[in-house]
Amino acid sequence: MINKPKYKIARRLGAHIFEKTQTPKFALRAERKGGKGPYRPKGDYATAMLEKQKVRYTYGILERQFKKYVKESVAKRGINTVQALFERLEMRLDNVVYRLGIAPTRLAARQMVCHGHITVNGNRTNVPSYIVSAGDLVSVRLGSFKKPIFKDYDEKMKKVSIPAWISYDAEKKLAKLVSVPKWNPVEHLFNLGQVIEFYSR
């Protein structure tokens, strides 16, 4: 888990990669700070390094694990490397919980998983990095609905915009991964192609 000053990191990377840096409060604070603005990399290596950091901080992944994801994606046959890496990142259990809107941030999603509140195919799973697959069923553990963090759960879920690769049954409180997420560069603040190039040097 990455636990560092998020405002400072976001200013340095020049991207609103954390949920708390996507608010008017952050924009106002950044305006008051003034200064030199975000770091502008010089050269291909520095640019690729910056993109790598954006991805790592977005998903809250440490360097060793992220490097492993890239290596596995490069070795995967029959699929575009960028798409393979994107699938690996998005299909992490903590990210799926975040995408479902069960948790407001990826950090909160990670804590929910670690505390055993989430099940996959009916089995309690407490590993945030667990990789789910298309067809898997994800839900909050029945006994966990008594916890304060799941107060007004049904009302919150009505307001959530769930990605197309996840299907949610409000009556059963059950999510199903109907497909894999597709990489679309215009929807993200980072460039996975440059990340692959960084590790290929």
Task: Please state which of the four CATH numbers 2.40.10.10, 3.30.70.260, 1.10.1050.10, 1.10.4100.10 is assigned to the domain occupying 6-88+189-200.
Answer: 1.10.1050.10
Q: Within 13 Å and on the Cβ side, how many CA atoms surround 47?
A: 8
117/125 Cα distance (integer angstroms): 8
The DSSP secondary structure of 112-166, one letter per residue, reads HHHTT-EEETTEE---TTPBP-TT-EEEE-GGGGGSGGGTTHHHHHHT----TTE
pLDDT value at residue 181: 96
Short-list 70, 157, 147, 162, CA closest to 111: 147
- Per-residue pLDDT at 183: 96
- Tell me: pLDDT of 149 over 90: yes
Which band of pLDDT confidence, cut at 50, 70 and 90, is reported for residue 47? Answer: confident
Q: Which residues contact 43 (CB under 8 A, 6 or more apart)?
A: none
Query: Does residue 2 have a pLDDT over 90?
Result: no
**pLDDT at residue 6 tops 90:** no
Can you tell me the distance from the alpha carbon of 118 to that of 106, in angstroms, rounded to the nearest whole number? 14
Decide if 8 contacts 38 (C-beta within 8 A): no
pLDDT above 90 for 68 = yes
What is the pTM (predicted TM-score) of this model? 0.81
- Taking a C-beta distance cutoff of 8 angstroms, is the pair 97, 141 a contact? no
Q: Please give the class, per CATH, of domain 92-177.
A: alpha beta
What are the start and end residues of each CATH 1.10.1050.10 domain in the chain? 6-88+189-200
